[in-house]
Every structure is written in structure tokens, then in C-alpha cells.
Amino acid sequence: MRLLNRREFNGLWVALGSFASPTGTAGAASTGAARTAKFRDGTVVPALGQGSAGLGKGKHPHAVEEEAVHTGLSLGMTMIDTAEVYDSEEFIGRAIAGQRNRVFLVSKVWPNHVAGNGVMRACEASLERLGTDHLDLYLLHWPNGVTNLSSVVTAFENLRSAAKIRAWGVSNFKVSDMEDLFRIPKGDSCATNQLPYSLADRGIERDLLPWCEQHGMPVMAYSPLGGTGASLLRDPTLVRIGAAHGCSAAAVALAWTIRNGNVIAIPESGSVAHVKENAVALSLTLTPQELQSLDAAYPLPNR
């Protein structure tokens, strides 16, 4: 499939947008109730949150990025995901100051920091950087290098008992990793598994996504717009579908990702305009025909 260059993209957007409404401007996106996802403990969150791996690093002025975060919160994207290795926790702490009660706050511990009482120390350091007394969700960032998963689970449970965290989960775990985790005492208290998932990266649909569904566990999808380069946003199929709904290709890609109620997407943006585009996905309803077109354009890869 050939991607559009910038000139072709702009031309197609304008041309298709002229058919979206009689006035020649794109109409409002086809909307329904805002999508949510439910964790295993009954906690309900919006199916679209905000990532932060690249925020606070000077790509945009901090004030602009803070405004983008505030815009996301006002539009219902109240889950904010960060991690100790992102170097964005202090930025997020400033951005949500005075609004902590509106935010479902997620951070992660790096696997190199879990030995001994490392999980407790890492959590305390994250809390200090974030300017809060608790995390809503705390994740083990990777399974790599963790030789005693049971001790990590125990540390998470101790943090929960101490009200430092309200729930815990994992990230980048394969099915075999999840099965190992669930064999550990209290391992089945895991709330979620955060993974890469997008139209361009559908591999987890073969085994991991069904496994999590069977265990009543939503998946958190990072890089839901396809990661570096975001070629999805220039794809003519997504551009055409977006024009039909009066929204961006990004909103289409995100609406596809969260379509079934068991995925929480966490796109990152330091741009107010892009956050507004993303937020449309919370209530964007794609037709069966549009879903078929997207499946045809981005089929599930062979094993």
C-alpha cells in the first residue's frame, strides 16, 4: 500500500471533506456514548487516556504541553500514563497540580529496580516526583531480567495495603508470562497488561488479547497510532473514513483500537489541536463496512 505524501494527503482531505456535508465543510463525527473500560475490581475508566513518554523534554514549550494535558482532561481523557524511566513524572505532577482528583494516574517501575525493597523505593520516588500520595495503577514495565516475580507481586500487594497504590499490573508480558504470573499467590490480582497495539501492530489479537479477555482484564494499548512516523495518519483509507465522519485519521485509528470495550488506548500528544482530534475517538462509531475496510487495509499478520 502506498502512503500519501503531504501534498496528496492535504488534497484528499479537502476533496473528501467537501462531500461530508452540503456546505462543503466536514460534518461532526458520528458519535455515541463515550467508550469506557472496566478493570477487574470494577473500576471504570475512559477507553482513551494520555501517554507522556515524550512530554516535558522540550519538543514543545512546557506551557503548551501542560495546556494539551489540561485539554485532554477536559475532554474526558482522564487516565494519564507515565513511568520512572520516561523522565516525565515531574512534568505530569506540575500539569495535574490542583486536579489530582480528576486523574486516573498510572506509573511504572523499571525491572532493574525491583530487587530487595526496590519496588517500594521506586514507588515512593515516583510519588514524590508526581506530587501525590498514591497511584491509581502501578505497573511492572517489562518482565525482562526479573528473576523473582513473586517478590514483585508481594511488593505490589504491600504497596496496595499501605494505600500507596490502588491497583497494580504489568507491561509487555507475553501469554506465557501472564500464565506464570497467575500461578503466583496473588498474581491473579493483576489489573492490566500494557502492550503495543494499533492497526499497524495487531499481533496480540492472536493470543494475548483473547487471553486477557477471558480473564476479564482490559489491555492498555501504547503506540495506538503506530509509533514513530505515524504512517497510519497518512493512510488514504483512514483519511477517507475520517472525512466521512468529519474527523481526523488519528481519531479513526483510535476508535478502531478501542472499538470492543476491552482496550484502553493511551496516545501521546503535546499539541492541543492533536489532543482535540484524538478525543473524538471516545465517542466515534465506525460502521461495519468501515471496520471491514480497515481490516482489509491492515490485515492480521501471519504468524
- The H-assigned helical ranges of 82-148 are 89-95, 118-130
Task: List, in sequence order, every residue forming a beta bridge with 12; answer none if it has no partner.
Answer: none
293 inside domain? yes
The DSSP call for residue 299 is: P
pLDDT at 39 over 60: yes
Binding positions are: 141
Predicted pLDDT at 287? 98
Kindly give the pairing relationship between strand 44-46 and strand 36-38.
antiparallel
- Region 215-228: mean pLDDT is 93
- Model confidence pLDDT, tens digit, residues 61-82: 999 999 999 999 999 999 999 9
Residue 17: inside a domain: no
Average pLDDT of the chain is 91
What does the alpha-carbon distance between residue 127 and residue 120 come to, in Å, rounded to a whole number? 11
CATH of the domain at 148: 3.20.20.100
CA distance 253 to 233: 8
Q: Where in the sequence numbering do the catalytic residues fall?
A: 86
User: Strand pairing of 168-171 and 193-196?
Assistant: parallel
Gap between the Cα atoms of 81 and 194, Å rounded: 10
In-domain check, residue 65: yes
What range does the domain containing 54 cover? 46-297
C-beta of residue 200 within 8 angstroms of C-beta of residue 170: no
Q: What is the pLDDT of residues 118-160, one digit of tens each?
A: 999 999 999 999 999 999 999 999 999 899 999 999 999 999 9
- The set of residues, in sequence order, having a beta carbon less than 8 Å from that of 23 and lying 6+ positions away, is none
pLDDT class of 2 with cuts at 50, 70, 90: very low
Using DSSP's 3-state secondary structure scheme, residue 33 falls into coil
pLDDT confidence tier of residue 11, bands split at 50, 70 and 90:
very low
Mean pLDDT computed over 23-34: 55
Annotated binding site for substrate: 141
pLDDT value of position 8:
45
Is the confidence at residue 14, as pLDDT, over 60? no
As a whole number, mean pLDDT of residues 43-71 equals 96
| Residue at 109 is within a domain | yes
Distances (CA, A) of 112 to 24, 33, 53, 123, 299: 56, 42, 19, 13, 36
pTM of the model: 0.89
**DSSP 3-state of 290:** helix
The residue written with cell numbers 460502521 in the block is: 287
In a domain, residue 253? The reply is: yes
CA dist 293 and 217 (Å) reads 28
Please report the pLDDT score of residue 229 as a whole number. Answer: 61
Beta-strand relationship, 263-265 and 79-81: unpaired
Average pLDDT of span 40-63? 95
Total count of domains within the chain? 1
- 21 assigned to some structural domain: no
- 277 inside domain: yes
pLDDT at 4 over 90: no
Asked whether residue 25 is domain-assigned, the answer is: no
In this predicted structure, the answer to whether residue 298 has a pLDDT above a threshold of 50 is yes
Neighbours of 104 (CB within 10 A): 20
Condensed to tens digits (0 to 9), the pLDDT of residues 222-273 reads 999 997 667 889 999 999 999 999 999 999 999 999 999 999 999 999 999 9
Q: What is the mean pLDDT of residues 202-219?
A: 97
Give the separation between CA 55 and CA 51, rounded to whole angstroms.
9
DSSP E strands: which ranges in 149-223? Answer: 168-171, 193-196, 219-222
